[in-house]
């Protein structure tokens, strides 16, 4: 028997789940199969260049749908989709609605958009991106990974473990994976491993069989209003778990008090077993004896650790990813794999040979002894974790080119941003990436620089007029042994390759 500790320090028991075979009992169960038939259905996707929408297009096409798409540019995933023979228009047009049965639009597209309005006028079905994900997942064993941080890496860790176990899952990851040749995999197995983005407050449109909750943090407040509202939405999501699936289970990071509270409430609502993982002693699966593995300036050290759980002790688990946060991500994958009856040897092999997802501490190169690493993290919690990962085997100083993402996030988390760079030696600040938002008076990278300076860290803060100037500043600052991070969710991703070339 394990326990959840609430903020009031009361101890509430959570039953440790039995193995999957025991959950199935001695009675044969119907196989999990998709419920929605897309054969011959003409589906048009707006925002096709996005990493999430493009994956949905490929999954629908693999099930027989006739897909097409449009975006406002030829960038993002558009070239990859065209290479697969999918028609993509590099502009939005209301006439797209005339040749489809269903129009799918992303959170970036308002329902007042002329293309959506024309589809409604023609009585075509209009579907949100998240609702389409729910349709694809319907009937499968949907392993849905959500939470503020770590979703993408956790999704890939789980997916690779299931692939290694020959369960042939379908997969949707929120980043490019070299092994997949993209971010999507179409399989014939019962499991569908999907990253489920909570940002636009539409979690209710997807029903999981195995929800995995990584953590809860104060992000996307423009859509939720408060962290309490985020917690409530996540609680509803876990409580909606498909109890008809004999292998349904709730999984979450037990080190996070809010996650533990959500697990307790969802377990009460569903009467399903729950698995907690983390570093703390009250978790069902716990990482202990952490040791940094050997690594070079080029490939970066990872971890060797032991895992203590209901299955006993697994010694010397190898994970070639830096940062303690990635150990938590690996524990989530181990929790799901153990519950599904995947062998220890298979799990170990899958984790030890895994490659990182693109833009998740992706090493762009080492030039003249300077290591350049690109990372997608754009929330203060993620930035702290990335700097800590860089410090894990840094020979010299750590600098960062950072591009704030959205005016609303910068404004609401200004004080958190002011302190999250404290472990860096230098910061080169790019202007805020608007992501379609209107500017907020008094909120810019200059005001952020002032807040960081008032906090007193890092030692050097430089304000750049644009990405090119930030790259030049970082190149002039760097010397052999240093690590420079290019950090953020906007076009700062191009800075990594540019810095390698400049060096």
* pLDDT tens-place string over residues 29-54: 678 999 999 999 999 999 999 999 99
Average pLDDT for the chain: 92
Per-residue confidence (pLDDT) for residue 366, from 0 to 100: 95
Compute the distance between CA of residue 301 and CA of residue 291 in angstroms, rounded to an integer. 10
Q: In which band, very low, low, confident or very high, does the pLDDT at 299 lie, cut at 50, 70 and 90?
A: low
Task: Please give the share of the chain, as a percent, with pLDDT higher than 90.
Answer: 88
Question: What pLDDT is recorded for position 144?
Answer: 98
User: For residue 100, is pLDDT > 60?
Assistant: yes
The 3 state secondary structure assigned to 29-94 is: CCCCCCCCCCCCCEEEEECCCCHHHHHHHHHHHHCCCEEEEECCCCCCCHHHHHHCCCEEECCCCH
Whether the pLDDT of residue 22 is over 90: the answer is no
**Tell me, what's the pLDDT at 107?**
84
Catalytic residue list contains 151: yes
May I ask the CATH class of domain 138-352? alpha beta
Q: What is the mean pLDDT of residues 278-305?
A: 87
* Mean pLDDT, range 351-371, rounded to an integer: 95
Domain boundaries, the chain: 42-129, 138-352, 362-502
Q: Please tell me the predicted confidence (pLDDT) of residue 19.
A: 37
User: Is there a contact between 422 and 457 (Cβ–Cβ < 8 Å)?
Assistant: yes
Closest CA to 128 of 146, 106, 110: 106
Q: State the pLDDT confidence band at 293, using cuts at 50, 70 and 90.
A: confident
Question: Which of the following is catalytic: 151, 161, 241, 362?
Answer: 151
Residue 25 has pLDDT above 80, yes or no: no
**Closest alpha carbon to 16 in 262, 227, 277:** 277
Residue 295 confidence (pLDDT): 61
20: pLDDT strictly greater than 60: no
What integer is the mean pLDDT of 162-187? 96
SS3 of the chain: helix, strand, coil, percent, to 5: 35, 25, 40
Answer with the residue of higher pLDDT: 334 or 74. 334
Its CATH architecture, for the domain 42-129, is 3-Layer(aba) Sandwich (3.40)
Give yes or no for residue 64 having a pLDDT over 90. yes
Summarize the confidence of residues 337-364 as an average pLDDT: 96
Q: Which residues, listed in sequence order, are joined to residue 463 by a DSSP beta bridge?
A: 429
Beta-bridge partner residues of 171:
185, 193
Is the separation of the CB atoms in 145 and 133 below 8 Å?
no
Q: Is the pLDDT of residue 7 over 90?
A: no
443 or 21: whose pLDDT is higher? 443
Residue tagged active-site, from 152, 154, 410, 483 = 152
Question: Is 16 a residue whose pLDDT tops 70?
Answer: no
For residues 309 and 284, is the Cβ–Cβ distance under 8 A? yes
Lowest mean pLDDT segment, chosen from 100-114, 210-224, 288-302, 432-446: 288-302
User: Looking at domain 362-502, what is its CATH homologous superfamily?
Assistant: Mur ligase, C-terminal domain (3.90.190.20)
Q: Which range, of 18-27, 62-71, 246-255, averages the lowest pLDDT?
A: 18-27
Neighbours of 41 (CB within 10 A): 17
Predicted pLDDT at 29: 61
Identify the pLDDT of residue 108: 81
Report how far residue 52's alpha carbon sits from residue 206's, in angstroms, rounded to the nearest whole number: 14
pLDDT for the residue numbered 456? 82
Cβ neighbourhood burial of 456 (10 Å; 0-12, 13-18, 19+): exposed
Q: What is the pLDDT of residue 31?
A: 87
192-213 residues labelled b (16+ CB within 10 A) or e (exposed): bbbbbbbebbbbebbbbbbbbb
Of 58, 102, 195, 362, the catalytic one is 195
Question: Could you tell me the pTM of the whole model?
Answer: 0.92
In percent, how much of the chain has pLDDT > 70? 93
Whether 152 is catalytic: yes
């Amino acid at each position: 028997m394990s326990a959840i500790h609430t903020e009031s320090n009361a101890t509430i028991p959570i039953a440790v789940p039995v193995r999957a075979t025991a959950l199935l009992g001695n009675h044969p169960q119907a196989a999990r199969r998709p419920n929605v038939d897309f054969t011959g259905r003409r589906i048009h996707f707006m925002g096709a260049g996005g990493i999430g929408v493009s994956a949905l297009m490929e999954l629908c096409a693999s099930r027989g749908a006739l897909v097409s798409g449009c975006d406002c540019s030829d960038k993002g995933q558009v070239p990859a989709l065209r290479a697969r023979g999918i028609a993509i228009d590099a502009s939005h047009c209301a006439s797209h609605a005339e040749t489809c049965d269903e129009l799918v639009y992303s959170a970036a597209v308002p329902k007042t958009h002329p293309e959506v309005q024309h589809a409604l006028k023609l009585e075509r079905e209009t579907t949100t991106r998240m609702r389409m994900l729910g349709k694809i997942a319907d009937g499968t064993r949907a392993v849905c990974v959500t939470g503020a941080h770590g979703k993408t890496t956790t999704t890939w860790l789980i997916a690779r473990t299931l692939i290694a176990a020959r369960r042939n899952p379908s997969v949707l990851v929120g980043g490019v994976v070299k092994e997949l040749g993209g971010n999507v995999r179409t399989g014939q197995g019962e499991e569908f491993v999907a990253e489920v983005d909570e940002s636009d407050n539409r979690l209710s449109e997807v029903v999981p069989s195995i929800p995995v909750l990584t953590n809860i943090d104060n992000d996307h407040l423009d859509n939720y209003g408060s962290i309490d509202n985020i917690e409530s939405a996540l609680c509803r999501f876990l409580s909606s778990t498909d109890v008809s699936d004999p292998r349904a289970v709730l999984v979450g990071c037990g080190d996070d008090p809010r996650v533990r509270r959500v697990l307790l409430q969802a377990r009460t609502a569903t009467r399903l077993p729950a698995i907690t993982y983390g570093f703390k002693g009250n978790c069902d699966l716990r990482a202990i004896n952490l040791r940094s593995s050997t690594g070079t300036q080029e490939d970066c050290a990872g971890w060797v650790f032991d895992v203590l759980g209901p299955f006993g002790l697994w010694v010397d688990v190898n994970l070639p990813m830096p940062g303690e946060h990635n150990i938590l991500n690996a524990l989530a994958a181990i929790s799901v794999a153990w519950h599904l009856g995947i062998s220890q040897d298979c799990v170990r092999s899958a984790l030890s040979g895994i490659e990182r997802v693109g833009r998740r501490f992706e090493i762009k190169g080492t030039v003249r002894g300077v290591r350049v690493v690109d990372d997608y993290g754009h929330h203060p919690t993620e930035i702290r974790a990335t700097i800590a990962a860089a410090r894990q085997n840094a020979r010299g100083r750590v600098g960062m080119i950072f591009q704030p993402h959205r005016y609303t996030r910068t404004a609401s988390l200004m004080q958190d941003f002011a302190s999250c760079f404290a472990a860096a030696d230098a910061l080169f600040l790019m202007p805020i990436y608007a992501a379609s938002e209107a500017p907020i008076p008094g909120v810019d990278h200059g005001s952020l620089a002032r807040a960081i300076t008032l906090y007193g860290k890092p030692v050097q803060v430089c304000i750049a007029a644009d990405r090119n100037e930030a790259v030049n500043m970082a190149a002039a600052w760097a010397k052999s042994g240093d690590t420079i991070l290019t950090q953020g969710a906007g076009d700062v991703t191009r800075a990594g390759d540019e810095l390698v070339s400049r060096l």
